[in-house]
Amino acid sequence: MSDYPLLNVFWTTFVFFLWILWFFLLFRIITDIFRSDDMNGWAKAAWIVFVIILPFLGVLVYVIARGKSMTQRDVERSRQSEAAFRAYVRDAAQTETSGPSGPADQLAQLATLHAQGVLNDEEFQRAKDKLLV
């Protein structure tokens, strides 16, 4: 048997979980401080010093004082990221539908047409030779 009771295992796991949660919150707040556009450099430096010197109190005060704006910045950043992704997908789809862009794409399209029976062997060979020259 072990000398470490089951209740101690649960307690250790709980404390470890809280420790990981604390570091996650601390890094999240430090990241938010650096990403915040509404603070100048001195305000950012003051918050960083406060969070590092008195971490528990600093994080608690930061969440109370700037928690709502922290959420608003996250929502705005998510909207911008989604808009950028949608623009990228739209551009990629337009490029895709505008036709084959390179020789490899054109050869693949020719092979598809040949496999579908649209082009016979002679037409396929002529078009392929014309592409490769």
* Tokens of residue 12, six digits: 């250790």
The pLDDT of residue 2 is 63
**pLDDT on residue 123:** 86
DSSP one-letter code for 117 = T
Q: What pLDDT score does 65 carry?
A: 93
DSSP single-letter state for residue 38: S
| N-to-C CA span, the chain | 80
User: Rounded CA gap, 20 and 79, in Å?
Assistant: 29
**pLDDT tens string 45-80:** 999 999 999 988 999 999 999 988 998 998 998 999
Output the pTM of the full model. Answer: 0.58
Residues of the chain with pLDDT under 50: none
* Domain coordinates in residue numbering, the chain: 6-98, 101-133
For residues 32 and 47, the answer to whether their CB atoms sit within 8 Å is no
